[in-house]
A and B are shown apart, each in its own frame.
Chain A
Amino acid sequence: MHNAIDIPGLAALYIFVLAAFAGWVIIGRVPAILHTPLMSGSNFVHGIVVVGGVYALLGASTVQEQVIGFLAVLLGAGNAAGGYAVTDRMLAMFQAPAARTGHDNRSARVKHLHAKKR
């Protein structure tokens, strides 16, 4: 397959080092109270792997490649969608003291979700 971008090894290293640094600094600012949503949020971010899966699957020319490529997209899509769903749900629960009037709405929603589970 034709690659649009050609990244030399050293430039790749630049990207890796700078991205890792950015991640370290950004995550270091997150308070401990948000560590679970942060973890599932970063879990969602690496769901971008689904894009690589689509690339691999579209370029497949044998049944073997199609099967493994299909698996890659399936798993990557699960990672992205699931990560988004749980992170969004968790973050909606964190409420400010001033927003206590919205409490009933939210707990009603939580109860609704629980009822659905049972």
Chain B
Amino acid sequence: MFASIASLIVGATGLVAAALFLFGLLRMSSPVTAPSGIRVAGVGMALAVLASFLYAANVDAAAQPHVFVNIGLAVVALALGGGLAWRSGRTVAMTAMPQMVALYNGMGGGAAAAIAAVELLGVKTTGSTALVVTLVGALIGAVSLSGSLIAWAKLDGRIERPLRIQGQQAINGTVMAVTLAVGGWIVGASAGLVDPVVGVPALIYAFFACALVFGVLMTLPIGGADMPVVISIYNAFTGLAVGLEGYVLQNPALMIAGMVVGAAGLLLTLLMARAMNRSVANVVFTRFGDAPGTHKQGAIVGSLKPMAPGDAGIAMRYASSVIIVPGYGLAVAQGQQKLFEFVELLQAGGVRVRFAVHPVAGRMPGQMDVLLAEAGVPYDAIFQLEDINADFPHTDVALIIGANDVVNPAARSDKSSPIYGMPILDADKAKKVFVVKRGEGKGYAGVVNTLFYADNCSMVYGDAQAVLVQMIEAVKSLGLPVAA
């Protein structure tokens, strides 16, 4: 009796949790309602986790003697994993957000893989279909775990350069084929069709090892600026793995939540790839920006014209409209607070200032938007590419900070350029363009930016934060009256 009531409660809370997740995500479609959205989803999660302890009422006879130890272990694991992640999530710098999201995402994939491992090693799944689903979920979860960890290491600067070796695709293909073969072997052996030779548990361990290695190999060659796509892919992968393991555990809440996230991740992946005018396969399998020497650069007209930060700052104070294009360089220099301080100074002088954000600026979808929000920029001053591109020709100054490829006019005109066809911000059409940049280096795509040589463009060299401090000082030293 108690056992069936417990099952009923678990099932009902699962349904409530799934509904609250969807409702919470729905509320995230506007900045006004979004904060309440995550809280609604959080309530659903808390309910589902609490109710999950009622599973204790329904354990197998074999697990009965261990059930109190297991409850204790579960409480410890929840407190430990939840506590550590909560603390890191609360204290991490906003600029480090992409690597934190990658890390949490990897943990989710690892959890799905671990659940599959328990099911497989304990021979709890019956029938070939359930076994195949478990294995596919295990594969995707394990790839997401090791792949996300590599992505985290890259974003955190622990792995400096993309690791590219000869025949990488052949090696990756072989590892994938071996993983699938071992998986097929497990299914065959479980059905009694083939001889397991080394025993099914050994095969299961080999399967997980291959899947983890594949995740590492797949992520190592991918470069920094392609990370928005990679993070989205692994988010989708983990969702998919959770959904599939949800089927194995016959838990509809996991199935629904997992598939919703899988679809969301897929949509974001496609959006990011489209913003780079490349296919997802191209991002994952091509060595982008690897051989800049092979691309014939069109003749460059003009020269680089350096400008002092103070002069650029003063020129913007006397402009009537300014559009700022922030890029990853701003995040690296932690310059977002100083940028907003400068913007407030301009606004006090009556200058109209807006921000233009490219979809793939930064290291994860929307990263620049979050950094600007952190600095205090209201969201109605932040514009997306399609909403602001037409305004550049009527704008006095375009200020580009730490962005490069997303404002390269070659993407519009130079058919031989690797970035040809990528939608860009038309900053070059503004009357004056100031580019804040650390040096004369090329962007991620390894192409020279023709904008920097244009007649209306001046280069302000230096670290973004240091440059902004000088701009602020120069404008303040003018001692101009503040506009009403």
Q: Which residues of A contact B (CB under 8 A)?
A: 1-7, 9, 12, 15-16, 19-24, 26-62, 64-66, 68-97, 99-100, 103, 106-107, 110, 113-114, 116-117
Contact = CB atoms under 8 A, between A and B. Distances in A.
A76 B78 CA distance: 8
Given A2-B3, A73-B81, A52 B231 contact: no
Nearest to B35: A91
Do most interface residues of chain B lie in helix, strand or loop, or is the interface mixed?
helix
A73 B71 CA distance: 11
Contacts of B263: 19-24, 27
Contacts of A34: 28-29, 31, 34, 366, 369
Contacts of B90: 85, 89, 113
Nearest to A24: B263
Contacts of B80: 74, 77
Contacts, number: 435
Contacts of A81: 81-83, 85-86, 89
A27 B28 CA distance: 9
A86 B97 contact: yes
Interface string B56-73: 101110110011011101
Given A33-B31, A39-B232, A96-B32, A48 B257 contact: yes
Given A81-B85, A94-B379, A55 B28 contact: no
A2 to B, nearest CB: 5
Given A1-B58, A5-B252, A54-B53, A43 B89 contact: no
Given A16-B255, A48-B254, A51-B48, A58 B105 contact: no
Interface residues on B, range: 35 or more
19 contacts: A1-B55, A16-B247, A37-B38, A41-B37, A49-B242, A49-B245, A50-B78, A54-B49, A54-B53, A60-B63, A60-B66, A72-B118, A78-B85, A80-B82, A82-B107, A85-B88, A86-B100, A106-B376, A113-B90
Question: Sorted from nearest, which 6 A-B pairs have the closest CB atoms?
Answer: A85-B89, A35-B366, A4-B7, A82-B85, A23-B260, A23-B263
B365 A35 contact: yes
A39 B235 contact: yes
B261 interface: yes
B101 interface: yes
Given A49-B242, A61-B62, A76 B108 contact: yes
